[in-house]
Amino acid sequence: MQLFIHRNDLRVRDNIGLFRAGAAEPVIPVYIRDPRRASLIGPEKTAFRDRGLQKLQERYREHGSDLIVREGKTAAILSSIAQEHDISGIAYNRHYAPSERHIEQEIDKSRFNATAYDDRVLVPPRWFENDHDTFSPFYRRWKEKEKQDAVGVPSQLADISAPDVEKSQESTIDLPDAGEEAARDRWTAFKAGALYEYKEQRDDVADPDAVSRLSPYYSNGMIGIRTIYHEVQTCIQQENDDNAIRNIAKYRSELAWREFFYQVLYHHPESVENNYKSFEREIAWENDADLFEAWKEGRTGIPFVDAGMRELNETGYMHNRTRQNVASFLTKHLMIDWRKGRDYFRKKLIDHDVASNTGGWQWAASTGTDSVPIRIFNPIKQGKRYDPEAEYIKRWVPELSGLDPNQIHEWPQLEEEQRKALAESYPAPIIKYQKRYHEGKQMFEQALGR
């Protein structure tokens, strides 16, 4: 029998490694709670993953098999399971984070015949002749590359039984439903409507259904990326309206952004901790602890930023437009090291993914792959543009719910007496906004040697 090690691929259908392993002989599915991996994700993602494991076990039982879940270092657990079952080999799907690649090396060096498969992305990073440091040339090459087809359920699953999966972490927030069925339901609802307006509506932060909100399922592998990609392609091919095609194609490009960051991570694993971009001088981060705490708690006095941080703290999720703004504000206006923000997101996000989180933070901090040398988001203008009626801000910053949208967006520019009269419980800006804009820009210019 083959042993298949689940990691960030908590599904039975469209799982390349599981499908290939089950084509030759019965497969025993295993998930190992390796403490080295567990320490790299926060409690909310852990709780969401645990629910996904329970759903995965239910799926295996529906197919006459089961899921073995053990806790410990991967190599030791594999040896233990091998003593209980007649194992001829091991299969797993590749990952690209340095911590995961280290565990893969241990599996490959074990006494078992190990086979690795490409499942997490449509185009594996090693398929590119050269690495790309900006998205546009990557996307052009990515579209040219052949994509794997989606696969079904493995033909042979071992007839085994295992104890019920127990939760290792309880959640303090209201988590979305986990598992393959929930992921499929979410995709079906998005594909039926918002997909056809995605390019035009995706930045409407007030409408939670303007985006797919599939990121928690992608991150935990609860739906196959090939399934989504080929259905997107089918929608494009069957559509006659050029505007609808542009909207659908924009979602396809977002799938490619995810793979772009995996490509960066694969070729530059050091970028997990180090600036991707080279600087002539060290960036003179100020790293003020009080400012950092205010940012984390959503009490900076910048409404659009605070709304984003409170959404994150209360749901484990944040709209991508707001992620860009809170990251830019932390690094450019508060002048705090991007790694501190990255670590806080890692702790809070249920959709945390090493490649996307690191890549996104470095892009917003102007230390990464952005082609613009110094990009600084203006959260006041961004709030006006993407949340004109302040619906999103009012939802997450109820202290401002009784105010006119213009008063909310202009909050940083109001006089102190005006702010106290309008919403005394909401804080004044913790920085002098315009002054810090110039100081943050100067900090980066000096690092670049300008």
Domain assignment present for 163: no
Domain assignment present for 125: no
Q: Quote the CA–CA distance of 78 and 165 in Å, as a whole number.
A: 18
DSSP state of 220: T
The answer to whether the beta carbons of residues 445 and 374 sit under 8 Å apart is yes
- Residue 278: how many CA atoms within 13 Å on its side-chain side? 2
pLDDT in tens, 337-395: 999 999 999 999 999 999 999 999 999 999 999 889 999 999 999 999 999 999 999 99
Same domain, 255 and 306: no
Helix residue spans in 271-328 (DSSP H):
289-297, 303-315, 320-328
Q: Quote the CA–CA distance of 261 and 332 in Å, as a whole number.
A: 22
Same domain, 434 and 317: yes
pLDDT at residue 130 above 80?
Answer: no
Q: Which burial class, exposed, middle or buried, applies to 43 when counting CB atoms under 10 A from its CB (0-12, 13-18, 19+)?
A: middle
| Residue where a domain terminates, one of 120, 152, 171 | 120
pLDDT in tens, 253-267: 999 999 999 999 999
With a pLDDT cut of 70, the percent of the chain lying above it is: 100
Average pLDDT over every residue of 207-235 = 97
The answer to whether the beta carbons of residues 117 and 91 sit under 8 Å apart is yes
Domain assignment present for 53: yes
What integer best gives the mean pLDDT of the chain? 95
- Residue 251: how many CA atoms within 13 Å on its side-chain side? 31
pLDDT at residue 119 above 80?
Answer: yes
Total tally of structural domains belonging to the chain: 3
Per-residue confidence (pLDDT) for residue 82, from 0 to 100: 86
Domain assignment present for 102: yes
- For the domain that residue 221 is a member of, what is the CATH number? 1.25.40.80
Average pLDDT over every residue of 24-39 = 91
Same domain, 406 and 296: yes
Same domain, 312 and 247: no
Per-residue confidence (pLDDT) for residue 197, from 0 to 100: 97
pLDDT in tens, 152-198: 999 999 999 999 999 888 899 999 999 999 999 999 999 999 999 99
pLDDT in tens, 314-329: 999 999 999 999 999 9
Q: Where are the beta strands (DSSP E) in 61-155?
A: 68-71, 89-93, 114-117
| Residue where a domain terminates, one of 76, 91, 120 | 120
pLDDT in tens, 63-117: 999 999 999 999 899 989 988 998 889 999 999 999 899 899 888 887 788 999 9
Other CB atoms within 10 A of residue 335 CB: 20
pLDDT at residue 283 above 90?
Answer: yes
Torsions phi, psi of 71, nearest 5? -120, 130
Same domain, 252 and 384: no
Q: Reading across the β-sheet that carries 27-33, which strands appear in turn?
A: 68-71, 27-33, 2-6, 89-93, 114-117
Per-residue confidence (pLDDT) for residue 24, from 0 to 100: 85
Per-residue confidence (pLDDT) for residue 157, from 0 to 100: 97
Average pLDDT over every residue of 422-443 = 95
Pick from 47-51, 107-111, 219-223, 420-424: least confident: 107-111
Domain assignment present for 152: no
Range of the domain at 59: 2-120
pLDDT at residue 330 above 80?
Answer: yes
| Residue where a domain terminates, one of 120, 136, 166 | 120
- The structure's pTM equals 0.95
Same domain, 243 and 356: no
Average pLDDT over every residue of 300-315 = 98
